[in-house]
Amino acid sequence: MTPTAELVPVAYAEVLLGLAEERGIRREQLLQRAGVRAEVLGAPNGRLSFLDFNQLAFAALALTADEALGLAMGQRLNVSTHGILGYAVLSSASFGQALQFALKYYRVLGLAFDLELLEGDSHLQLRASESLPLGPLSRFAAEGLFGSLHTIAGFLLGEPPADFALGFAYPAPAYAERYRQQFGVAPQFDQAQHWLSIPRHYLARPMALANPATVQMCEQQCEALLATLDVQEGLLPRLRRLLLARPGEFPDLDSVARALHTSGRSLRRHLASQGTSYQQVLDEVRKRLALQYLSTTHLPLQEIAYLLGFNDASNFRRAFRKWTGRLPSDYRGDLCLPDSSVETAP
């Protein structure tokens, strides 16, 4: 996935332009400030690049001076805004089927997030991690994503979801009260990643507009769209993103291949043509995560080892020294971060 890939639905840009107009910013003024040509919004494929959309978002935030613009956008991104995926969700037999369909095909929306659903005994937790570095737009994008999810869930269920909770991976903004007003609960901030939680019993809730034929038609179109996106994005970047999105749960090559809609043999051959292998890519991802955990957290080494898929800290130490020529404690010590464990070279 690259900033120039044309994956973002034009409908998202139109919502953003509409919100800006409501705040007194003319359409032409916003496009000019963003450096985006009006013709881009009339693209035959109905999509624009991440770069163009991000430029529009930056310009809208600056011109409207509305820090909570992402929350407002999330409220406007309803089921119909999401095109073919929205129709499939509406036509699903139950809320659970709608959720599974959305998780399978959400990439057709060009989201800059990877989504993962964890099922507990009483609740479901949906986690989101950035698949593209969003930098200053991280909060805006997370507000839009979770605002939209909350809006759609309420529409499908016919009521705001009860016993609902959510968290964001950034500090509470000055307008944190707006979150409570919009979501009906006060979110938790400074979390390890973005998440929302709803009771499991909602999975069985039937949908009023259930239509199996429509779901089947939408699935065919989503499969065709995914194939198009896969060509634009490339297997290697998608593999890295998939592994980064599931720390501590690294699957084997065949499982990864299925998730990427290809065969293990094809994936192995493709990686070889790129001068790499699944194990090398996995090690690159583990190294990247290890450096991130050591430099930005105070997690004990045993916990970091577990998050990286190692069964104990000694195996993690050996791997880290192989990757960097140093021990994890030496690396963390140089960063002046206190460590909760003491180690010596094996």
Model confidence at 256: pLDDT above 60: yes
Whether residue 207 is found in the same domain as residue 246: no
Whether residue 211 is found in the same domain as residue 75: yes
Model confidence at 346: pLDDT above 70: no
What mean pLDDT is predicted for residues 322-336?
81
Model confidence at 82: pLDDT above 50: yes
Amino acid 180: pLDDT: 96
Q: What is the percentage of the chain residues whose pLDDT exceeds 90?
A: 45
Query: Which of these three, 66, 97, 112, is where a domain ends?
Result: 66
Query: Which of these three, 21, 45, 66, is where a domain ends?
Result: 66
Q: How many domains does the chain have?
A: 3
Whether residue 98 is found in the same domain as residue 58: no
Whether residue 219 is found in the same domain as residue 92: yes
Query: Could you tell me the pLDDT band of residue 225, with boundaries at 50, 70 and 90?
Result: confident
Amino acid 342: pLDDT: 38
CA dihedral 151, 152, 157, 162 (to 10 degrees): -40
Whether residue 53 is found in the same domain as residue 159: no
Model confidence at 105: pLDDT above 70: yes
Whether residue 125 is found in the same domain as residue 169: yes
Whether residue 86 is found in the same domain as residue 148: yes
Q: What is the mean pLDDT of the chain?
A: 85
- The SS3 assignment for 163 reads coil
Query: Which of these three, 186, 211, 233, is where a domain ends?
Result: 233
Whether residue 207 is found in the same domain as residue 336: no
Structural domain for 150, as ranges: 71-233
More confident residue, 76 or 312: 76
Instruction: Provide the 10 A C-beta neighbour count for residue 38.
Output: 10
Whether residue 78 is found in the same domain as residue 218: yes
Whether residue 44 is found in the same domain as residue 79: no
Print burial letters for 281-297: b (CB count within 10 Å at least 16), e (below 16).
bbeebbbebbeebbeee
Amino acid 343: pLDDT: 42
Model confidence at 295: pLDDT above 90: no
Whether residue 250 is found in the same domain as residue 344: yes
Whether residue 105 is found in the same domain as residue 1: no
